[in-house]
Structure 1
Amino acid sequence: MATSERRKGDRVVFERGIPAHMMGIDGTWRRECTMEDISETGAKLTVDGSVEGLHLKEFFLLLSSTGLAYRRCELSWVNGDQIGVNFLKTGDKRKKSVKRPHSADA
Structure 2
Amino acid sequence: MRFDGRKALRVRMDHKQAVNLMGSDGTWRRSCVLLDVSQTGAKIEVEGTLDVLQAKEFFMLLSSTGLAYRRCELVWIDGTMAGVHFINAGSKRKSASAKVGAAQTK
TM-score range, shorter chain: 0.7 to 0.9
1:76 Cα offset (Å): 0.4
Match of 1:102 in 2: none
Deviates more, 1:9-18 or 1:53-62: 53-62
Identity fraction in percent: 51
Match of 1:33 in 2: 32
Match of 2:62 in 1: 63
TM-score, normalised with respect to structure 1: 0.80
Which amino acid letter does the alignment assign opposite residue 52 of structure 1?
A: D
Spell out structure 1 runs of 4+ moving beyond 2 A: 53-56
Match of 2:94 in 1: 94
Q: For 1:20, what is the secondary structure of its paired residue?
A: strand
RMSD of Structure 2 on Structure 1 (CA): 1.6
- Listed as ranges, the gaps of 5+ residues in structure 2 are 1-5, 101-106
- Listed as ranges, the gaps of 5+ residues in structure 1 are 1-6, 99-106
Alignment check: 8 A CA contact 2:42 2:84 kept: yes
Structure showing greater radius of gyration is 1
TM-score, normalised with respect to structure 2: 0.80
